[in-house]
Amino acid sequence: MQILDTICAQVQAMRMPLYAVTAAAAARAGTPVLLILHWHGFRRRTPLTLPGQTIAPRAVAGSAMQLSQRWASFDELEGALVDAAWQLGAWDVERLVQRPWRRLGAPASEALACHRAFGAYPDASDEEGVVMDAPDRDDLLELAARRGYVRWLFRPRKAGLWQSLDDEDATLGPGGGRALPCPVPRRAFDGRMPSRVVYRLGHGARLVLRDT
């Protein structure tokens, strides 16, 4: 899957740093994946100028796009996402497996989390949402509501807001990224069993001694 190429092309087009990248897939292998790039930046809502008045800038909406390349298993999809996060210098990758929320007694928070994972923000105005390029988003939301879904999250160091942090990650190259292969072993999982896993990709360059 061309996840890294897709992210890099969007970064080049937007010319602003990334805050985070999320990806969501319904719990059925081979379905389209929704990739959302969350930007760190503000722009004026309108070029209009009014004497004596200041028009506050608004946060740039995220960019959501549908990845329709075929994938045979969640292990294959996760491998592509972790590889992309590794090359972009992310400190870690979080994976959440969520059960279907369309069931008797399910809390409203589960429905909201599912909508947000797929780029739908029912609790926000249009300006606070995302720019959507995903023709099958509604179908994916419906499938996730009935079957559950998996959501991944990572924060890129390279081409991201976090590149300015003054910490020491011994795994990073000069540009804030890393070269393949990624040495972090993957953990097999069932896309229908609720769970949370964090892959730690980076590690500090200094040995920290604790007082005893």
What was the pLDDT predicted at 48? Answer: 52
| 192 HSE (CA, 13 A, CB side) | 5
Out of 49-53, 75-79, 147-151, 153-157, least confident range: 49-53
More confident residue, 187 or 192: 187
Contacts (Cβ under 8 Å, ≥6 apart) of 3: 23, 35, 67, 80, 81, 83, 84
In whole numbers, what is the pLDDT of the chain averaged over residues?
Answer: 86
CB 87 within 8 A of CB 177: yes
Residue 52 tokens, joined: 């004596």
What was the pLDDT predicted at 121? Answer: 83
CB 73 within 8 A of CB 186: no
Per the DSSP assignment, residues forming a β-bridge with 133 are 65
Query: pLDDT tens-digit profile of 10-48?
Result: 999 988 899 999 999 999 999 999 999 999 765 545 555
Distance in angstroms (rounded) separating the CA atoms of residues 72 and 76: 7
Query: Could you count the other beta carbons within 10 Å of the beta carbon of residue 104?
Result: 4
pTM listed for this prediction: 0.85
Comparing C-alpha atoms, which of 37, 24, 126 is closest to residue 77? Answer: 24
Residue 151 tokens, joined: 């959501």
Rounded to a whole number, what is the distance in angstroms from the first to the last CA of the chain?
A: 48
At residue 56, does pLDDT exceed 90? Answer: no
What was the pLDDT predicted at 27? Answer: 93
Query: pLDDT tens-digit profile of 95-153?
Result: 999 999 999 889 999 999 999 999 998 766 554 567 788 999 999 999 999 999 999 99
